[in-house]
């Protein structure tokens, strides 16, 4: 498990402790809400569960991702996935600059 995966798992564990609900119970809250838009789900978690923005955002992302994958274990995007997403479409020409910069940093 990568450092990022461990951090996400720790955050999700803390959310469960703070809310007193397991992930499957939190998933049921999401499903019962009928909401599908990330920002609406995040706002609901903030309002109804008293979570801060970051925790509500992580929970919404984790639950939506696991629902889409049909899995119960949240999987984080890898750093390469994030970078690939950043440099698509009109920004694709900027990827070589990013790669050169990262090579210099390394």
- Do residues 52 and 27 both lie within one domain? yes
CA atoms within 13 A on the CB side of 63: 26
**What DSSP letter does each residue of 33-100 carry, written as one string?**
HT--SHHHHHHHHHHHH---HHHHHHHHHHHHHHHHHT-SS--PPPHHHHHHHHTSGGGGGGHHHHHH
pLDDT given for residue 73 in this prediction: 45
Are 52 and 84 contained in the same domain?
Answer: no
Residue 74: the pLDDT is 44
Domain co-membership, 57 together with 84:
no
Domains in the chain, number: 2
Query: Domain range spanning residue 84?
Result: 76-106
Which residues does the chain have with pLDDT short of 50? 71-75
């Amino acid at each position: 498990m990568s450092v990022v995966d461990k951090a996400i798992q720790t955050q999700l564990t803390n959310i469960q402790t703070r809310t007193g609900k397991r992930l499957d119970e939190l998933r049921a809250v999401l499903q019962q809400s009928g909401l599908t838009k990330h920002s609406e789900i995040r706002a609901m978690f903030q309002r109804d569960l008293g979570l801060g923005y970051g925790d509500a955002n992580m929970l919404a992302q984790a639950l939506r991702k696991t629902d889409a994958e049909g899995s119960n274990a949240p999987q984080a995007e890898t750093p390469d996935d994030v970078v690939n997403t950043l440099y698509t479409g009109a920004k694709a020409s900027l990827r070589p600059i990013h790669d050169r910069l990262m090579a210099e940093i390394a």
